[in-house]
Structure 1
Amino acid sequence: MAQHFLLSAKARTLSLKAVFKMGEDKAYETFCEMRWPENDGEAVCPKCGCTETYNITSRRRFKCVACYHQFSVTSGTIFASRKLSYTDLLAAIVIFVNGAKGVSALQVSRDLDVQYKTAFVLAHKLREAMALEDAEQKLGGTVEVDGAYFGGYVKPANERADRKDRRLLANQSGKRQSVVVIRERDGDMLTFVGKHESDGVEAVAARVDTDAVIHADEASHWDVLHARNEVRRINHSEAYSLNGACTNMAESFFSRLRRAEIGTHHHIAGPYLNAYAGEMAWREDNRRVSNGAQAGMVLEAAMDAPVSRQWKGYWQRAAA
């Protein structure tokens, strides 16, 4: 029997021990190489684009020869105004990608000896940077779509006589949300969060090519997709796969998201559900990529991402 990829040596190309062993100088060089790969890690002014700079080594900053603008390797990126060392930031990224079902902010807080809210915001900045990679992506070929509901749990009353039918709308909390996944077979996936599963129909129409073959279940809101695509339907009350039609790949994504909720984060609903769904989609897309390559992808995405509007600073009063 062939060895699973995650158990093989090919999956382990970067360890936390190696990150701390490299030291702050090497970590800083890694950030420079990721920020300015087109200039071999040499600084490029973000204001005027000049490639000639003075190196202020005492503060790890640069000064542009042309416009005299001062900047650092993280200026204008999602790590702008950072307080953690470059080694800690790299270690946080490695810890983040090493969690097959995600990693909690509490664990990152303990591993790096930082405040919980520091770890929480840092993790969400990484999720935001990862999501930007798929901002304009469209899917084609054979595509599966499906939805699942998260959040809005209503605890039953203690006494049986006081319990209500939680399936009725009047007895629900109103906080339940639907995650719709659009998954390309042997390709990437996109996620959308709405109040109802039917809210994802518009997202499917906008992000799936018209020549794609869509597989969906028998829910009536998917009927409108027949007007623009070839759609194959599967009735799950009769079979999970029939005549080539199935949504098993989409269902496998929900399995990963459920496990992340139950085993790691415990509560992923509310205003952050979209971020967690996007993270799990990224992990599923790159499940056959080594952890070292995954860390490089996340770091590169963070260096390309602009300053976060939602997570600027180290805390926020209310979720956007």
Structure 2
Amino acid sequence: MGSAKGILSFTDTFPNEESCIKYFENLRWKNGVVSPFDKTSKVYKCKGNKYRCKNTGKYFDVKTGTVFANTKLPLRYWFYAMFLFLSHKRGVSSCQLSRDLGITQKTAWNMLNKIREYMGAFNDCSLSGEVEIDETFIGGKNKNRHKDKKVEKCQGRSFKDKVPVFGMLQRGGKVVAKVVSNTKAKTLEPYITEHVQENSIIYTDGWDYGEIRDKYIQMSVDHGIGFYGTSFITEDGEFIQISTNKIENAWSHLKRTIFGTYYQVSKKHMQKYIDEFTFRFNTRDFTDNQRFDLYLYHIA
């Protein structure tokens, strides 16, 4: 896509359905059309942007085997939804998308949910160096609930009425975030060892993460006693900043996205929204067009 920004760039690049099809074909089949049924087969071009696999006799097009397969909506609708969805820092609601495309809210919701399904692959990074880890809890505040919907004893780290999310953020790098069943050490430690390289420096809020000191250098703050962090320079001249400010800022952005754009997210679909957040965070230095191409290339 061109270097121009915004929706005008989109309309210039994709003025019609044919332009979307050709763009997707170039991403998916850079070295020539390949049959999704038999990669070794010769392929014949047919009318209407369709192809025929010689070995199987089956017909296919560029949408076959992708999120766009069997869709009744034009590919240009999908492209518009993805570009809008990926270019807004806090996403786009299904209500807004339904108005923009002139489709039902249910159809728009299904489109956005399909788009999120392919973002999980970007929430599986390897982290190293200085890594901040923390948990957050997604859900409305109990004090704001109607009296007949208030939940007893749900203060602090209780998640009777909230969804716990565990995150790891490499300073100056990427973030990994997962919905977890609880915040016990035996639940969280495997995520740390899976995603954080050994001998990394891990900054925590003092919560018990099991035996991570055997593999990592752990430095902690303690919000309970009012210790939110400190900085110092080592004898070797290395600057050390003990804090979890960066991942806490990431959580703040996540919550503003959910409560400001989506208002309410069910636990069943929470991980998809977390994947959306991590994808957008991990591509924060990309242009809108670069982010669009990266995502489209992935699903192609």
Identity in percent: 22
Is residue 141–residue 212 contact of structure 1 (8 Å, CA) maintained in 2?
yes
Distance 1:48 1:180 in 2: 42
Contact 2:154 2:160 survives alignment (8 Å): no
Which structure 2 residues correspond to residues 45-64 of structure 1 after superposition, within 5 A? 45-50=35-40, 52-58=42-48, 60-64=49-53
Q: Residue deviations 1:66-92, cap 9 Å, x none?
A: 332321111112222122112111111
**Cα shift at 1:290:** 0.7
Q: Provide structure 2 residue ranges, at least 5 long, that are not aligned to the other structure.
A: 232-240
Structure 1 pair 94–141 and aligned structure 2 pair: CA distance change class (3 A): same
Which amino acid is the alignment partner of residue 33 of structure 2?
A: A
1:194 equivalent to 2:180? Answer: yes
Q: 1:268 aligns with which of 228, 242, 265?
A: 265
Q: Describe the shift of the 1:175–1:195 C-alpha distance in structure 2 as closer, same or farther (beyond 3 A).
A: farther
- The equivalent of 2:218 in structure 1 is 231
TM-score, with normalisation over the residues of structure 2?
0.85
From 16, 21, 24, give the equivalent of 1:31. 24
Shift of 1:143: 1.0
Amino acid aligned to 1:281: T
**Which of the numbers 120, 125, 143 marks the counterpart of 1:131?**
120
CA distance in 2, matches of 1:61, 1:105: 31
1:174, distance to aligned residue in structure 2 (A): 3.1
Supply the AA of the counterpart residue of 1:78.
V
Q: Does structure 1 retain, via aligned residues, the 8 Å contact 2:206–2:220?
A: yes
In the alignment, which residue of structure 2 is the partner of 1:178?
164
CA contact (8 A) 2:17 2:75 kept: yes
C-alpha change, 1:13 and 1:146, in structure 2 (3 Å) is: farther
Aligned to 2:4: 13
Amino acid corresponding to residue 56 of structure 1 in structure 2: C
How many residue pairs end up in the alignment? Answer: 282
Q: For 1:166-217, what per-residue CA distance to the aligned partner results, in whole angstroms no more than 9, with x for missing partners?
A: 4379xx8834211111111121111111132333332112221112211111
Is 1:113 aligned with 2:106?
no
1:104 matched to which residue of 2?
93
Which 5+ residue runs of structure 1 have no aligned equivalent? 1-10, 304-320
Name the SS of the counterpart of 1:101 in structure 2.
Answer: coil
* Residue identity matched to 1:227: D
Residue 122 of structure 1, CA deviation: 1.4
CA RMSD of aligned residues (A): 2.5
Counterpart residue identity of residue 257, structure 1: L
Secondary structure of the structure 1 residue equivalent to 2:176: strand
Q: For 2:137, what is the secondary structure of its paired residue?
A: strand
1:46: how far off? Answer: 1.4
1:247 aligns with 2:244: yes
Aligned AA (1:49): K
* Partner-residue secondary structure (3-state), 1:174: coil
**Hey, what does 2:195 align to over in structure 1?**
207
- Report the Cα offset of residue 95 of structure 1: 0.7
By how many angstroms is 1:23 displaced? Answer: 1.5
- 1:120: Cα distance to partner? 1.1
1:110 Cα deviation (Å)? 1.0
2:292 paired residue among 275, 278, 295: 295
Q: Displacement, 1:153?
A: 5.4
Write the deviation string for residues 26-53 of structure 1: whole angstroms up to 9, x where unpaired: 111111112123x1xx321112213632
TM-score, with length taken from structure 1 = 0.80
Secondary structure of 2:211's match?
helix
Amino acid at match of 1:288: D
Q: Give the Cα separation in 1 of the matches to 2:203 and 2:160.
A: 29
* Distance (whole Å) between structure 1 residues aligned to residue 169 and residue 182 of structure 2: 19
